[in-house]
Structure 1
Amino acid sequence: MEWIKGKILLMTMALTVIFGVGFTGEVLALSPEVEELKRMLRQVMEENRRLAERVSELERRLAAYERERSPVAETAATGAERPWYERVEVGLSVAGLVQGVVGVDREAANLHAHGGREPAGNIGPVITDEDKAYGAAAVDLELSAEFSERDRAYVLLEMGSGKNPDSEVPSFSGIVDEALSMVPVETEDGDVRVSEAWYEREWAFGSGRFRFRFGKIDITTEVDQNAYANDENGQFMSPVFVNNAAVEWASYSFGMVASYETERWALTLGYEDADSSWDNLFDYPFLVGQLAVSTEFLGRPGNYRFYVWYQGEKHLEWDELEDYFASGGARSPENDKAAWGFGLSFDQEVAEGVGVFLRYGWRGGDLAGYWNGDLTDLDFSYGFEQAASAGISVSGRLWGREGDELGLGVAWFGISDDYEDYWEAKGVYAARLGFDPHMHRHEARDEWHLEVYYRLKAAEHLALTPDLQYTWNPAGLRDDGFWVFTLRGVWEY
């Protein structure tokens, strides 16, 4: 309606200029034609005034109608809010991928899977082919509801089927995030898993807000976030670029999160059951505390997160493993140490459509991993003490493709001295070669990982992503490395 008012005003001004300027009073008084035009002008101005009044009245009525139809007005008028099911939002995504893994060192992969022992015959090898193709598909259904301005709930249902190459090809960085491949999962193929189901409430407090969430949660949605490396469906696929690889995250279990958030900073405290058993909930806790700061560096948005964590499950110390070998296997390790560490996650826009990210993690405790009483079952999940990843993300709008994105990331894993000594059979670890004639020594080196992807918006709800990965010295064992070629398709609605 503003344009109507403007048009009326413009017409009035134009007529005034045409008929009221440039003529002398005498000429206007003597000309019948001019007198007639002046009369017509007065009629037009009067009509314009009536039209303006009508427009103002219509605007008033429209504003009153919108107020009456608002949820707040409806609640005040009826004494009850709209039913919760009228405020439920549903999201559906279907992801599929095919992967080709090329150049895997079968000997190194099988030795790592058996703690340095060569599998006997055809019993126990995890992989028999240097080159292999894999496939997987996953379906996610999200349900969210707002019960009020302060109360909300969320449920994530996941279903998937396929093969994850990480189950056969060992590496610290990983190849495809579990949430995308849905393997391994706690269900059989085709079964539905309730990955998240939580309730949240918030309160205004001071200059910010306080949030509290509890239920079955994914703690990584609240800490270690990153604008350019946090989404396995739309960004990098390797787990090392989805979350900090140096943190032993809990996975989809009972937990609680408390967070205080302001415009510039946020403090988050979280707890999750580390072993996901739903009994003895507080015996093996995963605890994390994060401080996040949002900035405008050189006029560009950025987020800087710092956190510390504690993992209460039972781990094996390297010192205990040394004692085991020094005693000839007579002294069993206690296997009862907790894990802890710290990490950071930075993301910063550096130019229009260009952002960079950095993650770093360090963990203490001098741990080796999990021990099940058998040397060949030692998983060496703590073969590295620190890990870092960094990269760049470029929006396709720079070349006229608004929905496209290009990403490049590099990751590094610094192996521990004890891990290197174990595989190279130095010191007391030389005894392992005498324990079993099938034991081997292997040269150890830091692992490096490279990933580059291009996400192509093929349709309104469909994105296709060619992805290339290369891993040097996988699992910290010296090797030329292997390639992974992936095509990911994600349909979201």
Structure 2
Amino acid sequence: MQPQIVSAQSSINDESSVDDEISIESDTEQWSFHGQATYIAQQKNNFRSSYYGQNSLLNKSEGDGLKSYSLSATAFVGTRLWEGAEVYWNGEMFEGTPFSGQLTGLGGFYNGELQKGAFAPPIYYTARAFIRQTIGLGGGKESVESDANQLAGNIDKNRLVFTYGKFSTLDIFDDNIYSHDPRTQFQNFAIFSMGAYGYAADTKGYTYGAVVEWYHNDYILKFARLALPTVPNTAELDYSLTENYGDQIELTRSHLLWGQPGAIRGLFYQQKAFMAGYQNAIILGQQTNSTPDITNVRQSATKSWGVGLNVEQAINDDIGVFGRFSWNPGTTETQTLDISQSISGGVSIKGSYWSRPNDTLGIGFAVNGISSSQIEYLQQGGLTAFIGDGALSYGSEQIFETYYNAKIYKDLYVTLDYQRISNPAYNSARGPVNIFGIRAHFEL
């Protein structure tokens, strides 16, 4: 779920000389090779727990005193095909174990690298394989630096970009310069992304589909149809893009506020897939005198939708703030996180103030909630893919996270991270959970 398709771009003056244009053209890359490796280890406290169920996050007294960890390594390879066309392939290795051996017990999970499951021993797979075609529409030039899944060169500021293949939804949507990459920034799902955004993803966090982007002056309009799993939260995607899919549209407006750059993004998405409704599960449970179970009432062509707002704003060269709001009706089971409404935000501070300009201090929060129908379902003992304590004393899930990311040597960074999660999985009878973590990240 890392932002690896499009990286930040630096502008060049529209009045650049002919020599400058020639220089830019001569720096155009034909091939690109990059790589990354990230290790995250986390440990939690022996938090208060009045009771627990099948999908609870367990404390030490309940049998889980082990750490959670993840290790990933990715190779990014790209080349140009013809004018404006680029193709990319990412091979990835991943190994990880969540707390309690499964990624359960929370709305906003603590490690974005863990995606949706446990993989040990390590697995190897193609994370991304996509083609991108750019059509220039004028408006001056922008210089693009060499980066993961990005070839150095120059492109028109106004342009159309078509992407087709396998990638992560969050590579393209819900971007934010201060909070978007769990490998280098905030690690909690509800802080580095819109918590209530039901984005398309398989169990490793990737999808398949087509995206159209239109860049025009200070605006970016994006639209995509992306594959959902044939069964929610499983590995098999529906490659037909006609039965289990998600459509999303996002509009970005860049601006200057008091001379400092910022951006506002508005997102709308809808899903059509083989899913269950909570009320249907409750009704069937009442009719059969049994615990409601969403797996018994899944139906084809079930629909859901949601909206989101994403804001970033630089205060000065070293401080930036961000905020997100997202909402969905919460009447159907989730394709991503058990969150129906979420508000999050925070601040990112570079270490220039203490003579460490390559370091970053981040402070963030998220407040998550679920719908009334899901609350009733959980109170009756129902389970979702990720949560279910057997009962529920409802309270909003409240997350605080702070991290310090330090550059140790060249492209090696080490991060200390702390998260405090109150009312885990919306249950005031459990928690708060304190999670202490360390992250090592290397890239080239």
Equivalent in the alignment of 1:486: 437
Question: How far apart, in 1, do the equivalents of 2:434 and 2:131 lie?
Answer: 42
Equivalent in the alignment of 2:9: none
* The one of 190, 196, 205 aligned to 1:246: 196
Question: How far apart, in 2, do the equivalents of 1:468 and 1:268 lie?
Answer: 34
Report the CA distance shift for 1:289/1:475 in structure 2 as closer, same or farther (over 3 A). Answer: same
Equivalent in the alignment of 1:160: 94
1:418 Cα deviation from its structure 2 partner:
2.7
* The one of 128, 133, 139 aligned to 1:196: 128
- Say whether the 8 Å CA contact 1:103–1:130 is kept in structure 2: no
The number of residues matched between the two structures is: 385
Tell me the percent identity: 20
Equivalent in the alignment of 1:271: 225
Unmatched 5+ stretches in structure 1: 1-62, 73-81, 115-123, 371-378, 433-438
Question: How far apart, in 2, do the equivalents of 1:455 and 1:393 lie?
Answer: 11
1:472 Cα deviation from its structure 2 partner:
0.5
Report the CA distance shift for 1:138/1:127 in structure 2 as closer, same or farther (over 3 A). Answer: farther
Equivalent in the alignment of 1:355: 320
Question: How far apart, in 1, do the equivalents of 2:351 and 2:22 lie?
Answer: 41
Structure with the bigger percentage of helix: 1
Secondary structure in structure 2 of the residue aligned to 1:189: strand
Question: How far apart, in 2, do the equivalents of 1:254 and 1:300 lie?
Answer: 36
Question: How far apart, in 2, do the equivalents of 1:344 and 1:67 lie?
Answer: 40
Equivalent in the alignment of 1:174: 109
Q: What amino acid is the match of 1:95?
A: T
Higher relative contact order (CA 8 A, sep 6+): 2
Question: How far apart, in 1, do the equivalents of 2:373 and 2:241 lie?
Answer: 33
Q: What amino acid is the match of 1:356?
A: V
- Say whether the 8 Å CA contact 1:210–1:260 is kept in structure 2: yes
Q: Does 1:322 align with 2:282?
A: yes
Secondary structure in structure 2 of the residue aligned to 1:92: strand
Question: How far apart, in 2, do the equivalents of 1:365 and 1:414 lie?
Answer: 10
Q: Give the structure-2-normalised TM-score.
A: 0.78
1:253 Cα deviation from its structure 2 partner:
2.6
Q: What amino acid is the match of 2:78?
A: S
Equivalent in the alignment of 2:375: 420
Equivalent in the alignment of 1:342: 307
Structure showing greater radius of gyration is 1
Q: What amino acid is the match of 2:267?
A: Y
- Say whether the 8 Å CA contact 2:227–2:241 is kept in structure 1: yes
Question: How far apart, in 1, do the equivalents of 2:31 and 2:238 lie?
Answer: 28
Report the CA distance shift for 1:395/1:417 in structure 2 as closer, same or farther (over 3 A). Answer: same
Q: Does 1:467 align with 2:417?
A: yes
Aligned ranges 1:24-103 → 2 under 5 Å: 87-103=30-46
**Any idea what the Cα deviations from partners look like across 1:40-63, whole Å, max 9, x if unmatched?**
xxxxxxxxxxxxxxxxxxxxxxx9
Equivalent in the alignment of 1:366: 331
Equivalent in the alignment of 1:143: 77
Q: What amino acid is the match of 2:426?
A: G
**Any idea what the Cα deviations from partners look like across 1:273-303, whole Å, max 9, x if unmatched?**
1114354342111110000000001111001
Please tell me the root mean square deviation across aligned C-alpha atoms, in Å. Answer: 3.3
Report the CA distance shift for 1:144/1:346 in structure 2 as closer, same or farther (over 3 A). Answer: same
1:239 Cα deviation from its structure 2 partner:
1.5
Unmatched 5+ stretches in structure 2: 1-17, 140-157, 230-235, 383-388
Equivalent in the alignment of 1:19: none
- Say whether the 8 Å CA contact 2:45–2:59 is kept in structure 1: no
- Say whether the 8 Å CA contact 2:227–2:239 is kept in structure 1: no
- Say whether the 8 Å CA contact 1:447–1:473 is kept in structure 2: yes
Structure with the bigger percentage of strand: 2
Secondary structure in structure 1 of the residue aligned to 2:313: strand
**Any idea what the Cα deviations from partners look like across 1:424-469, whole Å, max 9, x if unmatched?**
45xxx8xx9xxxxxx9543111111111000011111110000001
